[in-house]
Amino acid sequence: MRQNTSVVRAACYMSNVSMSAVASLSPLLFLTFRELYGISYTLLGLLVLVNFCTQLGVDLLFSFFADRFDMQKTVRLMPLLTVLGLLVYAILPAAVPDAAYPFLLLGTVIFSASAGLAEVLISPVIAALPSKNPEREMSRAHSIYAWGVVGVVLLSTLFLQLCGRENWFVLAILWSAVPLTAFVLFLLSDIPPLEITSGKGEKRGNPLRNRTLWLCIACIFLGGAAENTMSQWCSGYLEVALGIPKLWGDIFGVALFALMLGLGRTLYARFGRSISRFLLLGFLGASVCYLTAALSQNAIVGLAACALTGFCVSMLWPGTLIYAAEVLPHAGVAVYALLAAGGDLGGSVAPQLVGSITDAVAASPHLQELLGAGATAEQLGFQVGMLTAALFPLLGILVAILMRRIQRRKSNPLLGKTLEGPAS
C-alpha cells in the first residue's frame, strides 16, 4: 500500500483528539460519579493521579526499551486500546454500580496507557512525514489536542444537560468513536519508519549523556508544570479567590484556557519562526500571568490572566519537541519518550505541590496573620499557591536563555563551540 501522508496525518490528529477526551472526561464527570455511586473526592482525585502515573510509566518504558517494540504495529493498535479503555470505563460501572469504582479505575489505566503511547509515538510519526515546514506541522498537531479539549468540554457539558447525568456512560461510548476512527485510518495507511535511538549506530542509553537533551527535559518539565497547574487549578481559583460563580469559573477556567492554548499553537503553525525565541517569550508571559493572577484583587484582571496563561504556555511543550528535533540529529522514539516523561512529571508534580501549599496555608493561622488580612484562609491559600506556581515559568526563563544560545551556536558555528554534550 502506497503511503498516504494525508491519511497518516489525519489519524494522528484523531489520536490527539482521543487524548483530549480521556484527559477531560473524568474531571467533567466527578460530581456525577459522586451523586450516582457515592465515590469520595479522594478516590475521584485518584483517577486523575492514576491517569498521569500510567502515562509516565509508559513514557519511561519506551525511554529504555523502545527497541523491543514493533513501532508500526504499536501505532496501529494504540487507538484500539483507547476504545477498549473507554468501553470498560463506560459499560461495566453502569452494569455493576455496586462495583463502579474498580471498573472506572481499570478503564482509566487502559486508556491512560494508550494516551501515554500516543504522547510518545504521535510526535515522531508527524516528524517523519514529508513536509515543507516540519515545525509548523508539529505545532498544528499539538494544537489539535487543545481544540479537542474545547470540543470535549463543550459537547460533553451540552450532552449531560440535555440527556441527563444518569446517561453519562452513553457519552463515554460516543467518544470511543474518535479513537476507533483513528484505528481505521492507521490501518488504511503506511506509517513511516521511526528511528528508535537518537542517532544511527548509537547504543541504547547513550542519549542520556547528551547535556542538550537534559536541558530539553528541564524545559518540557517546567513547561508541563506551567501548563497543567493553571489548567487544573484556574477554575477553583476563579471561584474561591476571585469570587466568580462556579458555572462561569468552569467555563472560563477550562474551555477558555484551552481555547487560548489552541489559538497559540495554531498561530505558530501558520506564522511561527525561531522556536527558541517563542519558548523564551512563552515563559516570560506565563510568569507575568501567574504573578498577575496571584496578586490581583480584581476579578476581571485575574480572569484575563488565567485565560492568557493558556496562550503563553501554548508552545512550551510542543515547542520543546520542535527544538529537540532541530538540535538533536535523528531524535528517535527513545528521545521523544524521555521528553514526554519529563512533561508528564512536571504536569503531575506541580499541581500537587500547589494544592499542598494551598491546604497548608489555609490551615495555618500563623501564616494567615503574617501574610495578610481581608481574605479568607482559603483565598489566601490559593494566592500563595499561585505565587508558588509562578516559580516554574520563572525558572523556565533561565532554561530558555540557555537553549537559545545553543540554537544560535548550532546555526552559526563561528560563535564558538556548542554547549551540547557528547552524543555517543
Report how far residue 64's alpha carbon sits from residue 152's, in angstroms, rounded to the nearest whole number. 33
Q: Rounded mean pLDDT of 177-204?
A: 75
Q: What is the CATH number of domain 196-424?
A: 1.20.1250.20
pLDDT digits over 212-251, tens only?
A: 889 999 999 999 999 988 887 887 787 777 777 766 766 6
Residue 6 or residue 41, greater confidence: 6
Q: What are the angstrom distances between the C-alpha of 69 and each of 4, 73, 184?
A: 23, 8, 21
Instruction: Judge whether 243 and 378 are in contact, CB under 8 Å.
Output: no
Tell me whether domains 1-132+152-194 and 196-424 share a fold: yes
- Residue 41, pLDDT > 80, answer no
Q: Give pLDDT, residue 371.
A: 59
Between residues 66 and 189, the one the model is more confident about: 189
**Percent of the chain scored above 70 by pLDDT?**
87
Cell of 73: 504495529
Fold held by 1-132+152-194 = Growth Hormone; Chain: A; (1.20.1250)
Do the beta carbons of residue 271 and residue 139 sit within 8 Å?
no
Does residue 202 surpass a pLDDT of 70?
Answer: no
C-alpha distances out from residue 141 to 322, 331, 388, Å:
12, 18, 31
Rounded CA-CA distance 212/209 in Å is: 9
Q: Does 200 or 321 have the greater pLDDT score?
A: 321
Q: Give tens-digit pLDDT for 87-102.
A: 999 999 989 999 999 9
The yes-or-no verdict on residue 204 having pLDDT over 50 is no
Residue with cell 471498573: 103
Q: 304-346: per-residue pLDDT in tens?
A: 898 899 999 999 998 998 888 888 766 677 788 888 889 988 8
Question: What does the pLDDT average to over 261-278?
Answer: 85
Cell, residue 398:
533561565
Q: What is the pLDDT of residue 177?
A: 96
pLDDT of residue 87: 96
Output the pLDDT for position 413: 55
Asked whether 355 and 228 are in contact (CB, 8 A), the reply is no
The stretch 36-61 carries a mean pLDDT of 81
pLDDT at res. 400: 95
Q: Does residue 419 register a pLDDT over 60?
A: no
What is the CA 297 to chain-centroid distance, rounded?
Answer: 29
Given a cut of 90, whether residue 78 has pLDDT beyond it is yes
**Mean pLDDT along residues 54-82:** 84
As a whole number of angstroms, the distance between CA 120 and CA 343 comes to 11
Domain boundaries, the chain: 1-132+152-194, 196-424
Write down the pLDDT at residue 102: 94
Whole-number pLDDT of residue 331: 65
Predicted TM-score (pTM) of this structure = 0.76
Mind giving me the DSSP string for 252-279? Answer: IIIIIHHHHHHHHHHHHHHH---HHHHH
Q: What is the mean pLDDT of the chain?
A: 83
Mean predicted confidence (pLDDT) in 405-413 = 71
* Total count of residues recorded for the chain: 424
Q: What is the pLDDT of residues 357-393, one digit of tens each?
A: 887 887 777 766 665 556 677 778 888 889 999 999 9
> How many CB atoms lie under 10 A from the CB of residue 109?
18
